[in-house]
Structure 1
Amino acid sequence: MDNLLNIVQYILDLGPSVMLPLALTIIGICFGQGFSKAFRSGITIGIGFVGINLVIDLLVSNLGPAAQAMVERFGLQLQVIDVGWPAAAAISWASPIAAFIIPLALIVNLIMLLTGTTKTMDIDIWNYWHFAATGAFVYVVTGGNVMFALIAAILREIIVLKIADWTAPMVQNFFNLEGISLPTGSTVAYAVLGIPLGKIIGKIPVLKDIKADPETIQKRFGIFGEPMMMGLILGLLLGILAGYDFASVAQIGISMAAVMLLMPRMVRILMEGLIPFSESVREFLQKRFKNADDIYIGLDAAVVVGHPSVIATALILIPITIFLAVILPGNKVLPFGDLATIVFYIAFIVGATNGNIVHSVITGVILMTTALYMATDLAPLHTIMAKQAKFAIPAGTSMISSLDEGGNLLNWLIIKMFQVSWGWIILVVIAIIGLIHYFSKINKSTVGQ
């Protein structure tokens, strides 16, 4: 077990920018792409992700301190601190069941592809940590039951893949990413409630008439409506709310403008390598399986967080989330580490509202409210996991949580299935619905023949 954990940890330590080119080169060769073509695609995609991660680092390294400065400036004192997704991921990978997650998730994904129960080939191995997180929570809830923990992790993966399939057309139409789905655990979880809510808000009288997508804003405000200028203005406002001096306000404003301008260009580099890889995989599958035309390549949601509407919505939601933490009765979580990654949580909501920033912000307020309450509820479990992983609890608090996993609806629901006496009823219902859906697809394909 220790050797297996060491191997898994070594792979994880390579980081996504190394793991992805290696994985894609191997997958490309397996799908008949040829070494030179597969290697070139893998390296190009890796370079694209390096560029995307550099821009995201620029985003997070500016938003994180600004959010923390706002927390300190307004003197917020709450019992549970949000340690952020990096800490949550480290705690999850330290779980005894973590070593099984990568091979198990790959096998489950392959079986689902072969049986036609998913269209997504999830090559975003780094983000398998979300499945590990659910397994780690359930491992604690069930008193160390490895089988239950692995079942929970698999269930989380299956649901994530199905939501990735469901949202793939929107990823293609709104974000212009052909043949791509986004099975990132945090992004898809906020879509479960966020997409229907966004649609409902878009039909409410008065609100439905508000046009606030980047194109409309640019037409109305000219140069100040351009994505670059939107980033500049919102960055300046965020710096002012953080209480920065003039130099720091100007720096965060320019940084947000740079994110708006650079992210789409980094995505184009990524797609340059991904298109030939995707075509080779699709061609291979078309020769061997029916209905293989719509196989999606599952990538990190980082490829869409640079959209102007996504960043604008996230920048507005950061101070709102801090305000919600103060006024919501019963909330004990101090938003902190995950404030800078709100861009990931609301990406699908923005896509569902066709980039309408007003509709997305309203939807985001509701989602962040529910996230804070769920994170509060799971704080005791999160703390136990952290202590078992020998994670140092931050000074000044006795409990931790995170918006990413503590406030994650899918994670919360699956944990409740194993935590409460009637949880198995929900599990059985989900299994029955899944089987009905699967066999109805088989019957339809049979009738079509």
Structure 2
Amino acid sequence: MESLTPMVQAFLGLGPTVILPVFIFFIGLLFGLSPAKAFRSGLTIGVGFVGINLVVGLLTSNLGPAAHAMVSNFGINLHVIDIGWPGAASIAWASPIAAAVLPIGLIVNVIMLLTKTTKTMDVDIWNYWHFTFAGAFVYALTDSIAQALVAAVIFEIAILKIADWTAPYMEKYFELEGVSVPTGSTASYAPIGIPLIWLIQKIPVIKDLKADPDSIQKRFGIFGEPIFMGLILGILIGFLAGYEVGKMVQVGMAMAGVMVLMPRMVKLLMEGLIPISEAAREFLQKRFGAESEASKIYIGLDAAVTTGHPSVIATSLILVPLTLVLAVIIPGNTVLPFGDLATIPFITAMIVAAARGNIVHSVIAGAIVIGMSLLMASATAEFHTAMGVAAQFKMPEGATLISSIDQGGNLVHFIIFKVFEFIN
């Protein structure tokens, strides 16, 4: 399997803008679309992801350095470095089990679809790295490839079930019909975040606080529009980062751009996805009946399709400095938030949807979830570091221990790891 790993890495290195259109093309053919229509759908979805990746790049290239500047500004000194999802993903794909997880993951998904144990067709192949990471973590613990692959499959099954559960939020709040999100860095926070939102919205006084984009716009008029929210929150982030005025405005403009451009890129992606979803629905309805629940199928996409919503961005920008505060004040935390500060929009997406865009409620629930994630990332730092050493990962300068909020502090992954730790 180790000899296949470079081939897998080369394939995945093509990125979603190449891999996804190819998969969509063949899925379209499978569900009865003509080659021309299937090709057009795949091409349109690929172009949509090009646009989404450009906007996400705009977000992370501005938010990431600003967040890092805050760390220096605030003088925070914790000894476990958060290497972020790029570092965690590179460690995962360097694992001996990486080459096996991709085909096994696809087979498991097909079996679950055939047995009606999931409605999500996960075409987001790149994000199989989350499954791989869960397995690689167990491999570092047990030195057993068999146990590692079982752990990866358990993680995949859990994520697919959560994706099914949260799919209605994709339709009702994000207006993405027929889409689910089986991304490990988003789905794993839903089992904590969604119940927290339910609880918060039962608390007197707090439940009546409304701060969704619509209510903000009604109160502040033109200055409450998403484009202005992005500008103001971006400038605030720049201020906390200690930037000069010009740089603060640059960050503000970038965040305003994200607020406006991301929904338009998602709309383009959906233009390509709708023919596939309709073909899949018709294909299944012929076999299970028009009114059958079994005729429903969701196309599993990267959570990036949710990150441009105004409430998601606003919640995330508020949580960036708050995460640094939490890292300092939470007893037992040893992780210095760094690489995954720009990943917070992915962490909060389902929380925001459950809160119906209420930014106040989303920030409260998001802070609790991130606080728990920091503690889990602290608890798994030694194994995270051992994996990094085995993968010959280049450690950040001066770092002896590493972890990540995205996967080291991932609830589903943490539970699986603890179960395997117990039985071994």
Q: Secondary structure at the match of 2:295?
A: coil
Q: Tell me if structure 1 keeps the 8 A contact 2:284–2:296.
A: no
Q: Tell me if structure 1 keeps the 8 A contact 2:288–2:295.
A: no
Aligned equivalent of 1:102: 102
- What is the CA deviation profile of residues 312-366 of structure 1, one whole-angstrom value per residue up to 9, with x for unaligned ones? 0000000000111111122110000000110000000000011000000000110
> If the length of structure 1 is used for normalisation, what is the TM-score?
0.92
Aligned equivalent of 1:284: 283
Deviation of 1:64 after TM superposition, in Å, equals 0.3
Q: Secondary structure at the match of 1:400?
A: strand
Q: Equivalences for 1:351-366 in 2 at 5 Å? A: 351-366=353-368
Q: Equivalences for 1:218-229 in 2 at 5 Å? A: 218-229=217-228
Distance 1:3 1:31, change over 3 A: farther
Aligned equivalent of 1:444: none
| Cα distance between partner residues in 1 of 2:162 and 2:270 | 22
| Cα distance between partner residues in 1 of 2:170 and 2:141 | 35
Aligned equivalent of 1:189: 188
Specify which of 419, 422, 428 is matched with residue 421 of structure 2.
Answer: 419
Q: Tell me if structure 1 keeps the 8 A contact 2:179–2:299.
A: yes
Aligned equivalent of 2:401: 399
| Cα distance between partner residues in 1 of 2:182 and 2:235 | 33
Deviation of 1:214 after TM superposition, in Å, equals 0.5
Q: State the AA in 2 paired with 1:414.
A: I
Aligned equivalent of 1:324: 326
1:42 is aligned to 2:49: no
| Cα distance between partner residues in 2 of 1:52 and 1:412 | 30
With 324-333 and 130-139 compared, the bigger mean Cα shift is at 324-333
Q: Secondary structure at the match of 1:420?
A: helix
| Cα distance between partner residues in 1 of 2:400 and 2:212 | 43
Q: Tell me if structure 1 keeps the 8 A contact 2:155–2:412.
A: yes
With 305-314 and 5-14 compared, the bigger mean Cα shift is at 5-14
| Cα distance between partner residues in 2 of 1:356 and 1:311 | 12
Aligned equivalent of 1:57: 57
- What is the CA deviation profile of residues 232-262 of structure 1, one whole-angstrom value per residue up to 9, with x for unaligned ones? 0000000000000011001000000000000
With 30-39 and 122-131 compared, the bigger mean Cα shift is at 30-39
Deviation of 1:289 after TM superposition, in Å, equals 3.8
Aligned equivalent of 1:252: 251
Aligned equivalent of 1:335: 337
Aligned equivalent of 2:119: 119
Q: Secondary structure at the match of 1:297?
A: strand
Q: Secondary structure at the match of 1:346?
A: helix
| Cα distance between partner residues in 1 of 2:364 and 2:51 | 31
Aligned equivalent of 2:236: 237
Deviation of 1:27 after TM superposition, in Å, equals 1.7
1:383 is aligned to 2:382: no
1:161 is aligned to 2:156: no
Deviation of 1:287 after TM superposition, in Å, equals 2.2
RMSD of the alignment, in Å? 1.0
| Cα distance between partner residues in 2 of 1:400 and 1:366 | 22
Aligned equivalent of 1:203: 202
| Cα distance between partner residues in 2 of 1:79 and 1:317 | 22
Aligned equivalent of 1:16: 16
Q: Secondary structure at the match of 2:140?
A: helix
| Cα distance between partner residues in 2 of 1:6 and 1:251 | 39
| Cα distance between partner residues in 2 of 1:401 and 1:101 | 22
Q: Secondary structure at the match of 1:412?
A: helix
Deviation of 1:3 after TM superposition, in Å, equals 4.2
- What is the CA deviation profile of residues 395-437 of structure 1, one whole-angstrom value per residue up to 9, with x for unaligned ones? 111000000001100000000000024x8xxxxxxxxxxxxxx
> If the length of structure 2 is used for normalisation, what is the TM-score?
0.98
| Cα distance between partner residues in 2 of 1:84 and 1:195 | 24
| Cα distance between partner residues in 2 of 1:80 and 1:140 | 19
Q: State the AA in 2 paired with 1:169.
A: P
Deviation of 1:31 after TM superposition, in Å, equals 2.2
Q: Secondary structure at the match of 1:78?
A: coil
With 4-13 and 233-242 compared, the bigger mean Cα shift is at 4-13
Q: State the AA in 1 paired with 2:70.
A: M
| Cα distance between partner residues in 1 of 2:31 and 2:390 | 41
Q: State the AA in 2 paired with 1:156.
A: F
Deviation of 1:286 after TM superposition, in Å, equals 2.2
Aligned equivalent of 2:213: 214
Q: Secondary structure at the match of 2:81?
A: strand
| Cα distance between partner residues in 1 of 2:134 and 2:395 | 20
Q: Tell me if structure 1 keeps the 8 A contact 2:307–2:346.
A: yes
Deviation of 1:2 after TM superposition, in Å, equals 4.3
Q: State the AA in 2 paired with 1:305.
A: T
